[in-house]
Amino acid sequence: MKGLTRDSILSLESPLARVVEVHGALGSTQERARELARDGAPHGALVVAGVQTGGRGRLRRAWGSPEGGLWMSLVLRPDLEAAAAPRITQTAAVAVTKALREIGANVGIKWPNDLLVEPGGRKICGILAESSIRGARPGEAPRLDHAVLGVGLNANLDPEDLGVTDREVATLRSELGRDADPIDLLRRLLWNLDAELRRVHDFAAVLDDWRALSLTLGQRVRVRRSGEILEGLAADISPEGALILETRDGVVELYEGEVERLVRRGDGHAP
């Protein structure tokens, strides 16, 4: 993203930009951040790329990452049990949504990790958290060694630049009618991420915000997971971030899956 340099990012003095790499082009910020984490990089090591040539989202899907987007990954080392690692995705979604709303984008969260612009449910940002567990002593619960958090934000470019033909997408430029200031955008993202991640142990409070920002809860949805298709009401999110789906056959807790909002006949909202 033009305007982001190592020096300009370090000048933010963010706890999430202690170590900074800025690349003009890179296969994947996520892969590079994983390498840094394995080599012992501290909490707050940040990788930013102007272009990603091999970006991937959930389920290893290709993620178009041309010039103008904000493509970044962070090394995080929170003090968490391994079982609590999924909290990072929801916490980051709350943080990024708050940051984008601060600059005027009408963004909400689609479970589990997409940020959409309303009306229309057009995707503007994806979030991907990958965790590595360290060995535990006998009788102790495994703990998180590190997590790598990727944020792919469609920022200062046009929707058609993304080359997406199978679904609706949005960009900050298309929503705001202008480009976002790169360093101000990154400052807001890092500030909100740091603030929300500090609350990860008070996850109930994070989830209260998640519920308020959700575009999934209260909707009738279709969920595809592992070859299975479920339909029902997205009723709530569990204390550890699972989607609670009320189906005809009972209540199901989902920890993964692809969600599609169902449209009732006569309903003007798009899925």
Q: Over pLDDT 90: what percentage of the chain? A: 80
Domain enclosing residue 134, as ranges: 6-213
Claim to verify: residue 251 and residue 166 sit in the same structural domain: no
User: Please, which pLDDT band fits residue 168 given cuts at 50, 70 and 90?
Assistant: confident
Domain match, 186 and 154 both: yes
pLDDT, mean of residues 70-98: 96
Predicted pLDDT at 266: 41
pLDDT surpasses 60 at 270: no
Q: How many domains is the chain built from?
A: 2
Which residues partner with 257 through β-bridges?
Answer: none
Q: How far is CA 184 from the centre of its chain?
A: 19
The reply to whether 19 falls in a domain is yes
Burial readout 51-80 (b: 16 or more C-beta within 10 A, e: otherwise)? bbeebbbeeeeebbbbebbbbbbbbbebeb
pLDDT at 265: 38
The verdict on 110 and 179 lying in the same domain is: yes
> Within this chain, do residues 208 and 232 fall inside the same structural domain, yes or no?
no
User: 219-244: per-residue pLDDT in tens?
Assistant: 999 999 888 999 999 999 999 899 99
Instruction: Report whether 14 contacts 190 (CB < 8 A).
Output: yes
| Boundary (domain end) residue, out of 195, 213, 231 | 213
For residue 58, pLDDT beyond 60: no
Shared domain for 138 and 248, answered yes or no, is: no
135/245 same-domain check: no
231 and 124, same domain (yes or no): no
User: What was the pLDDT predicted at 1?
Assistant: 82
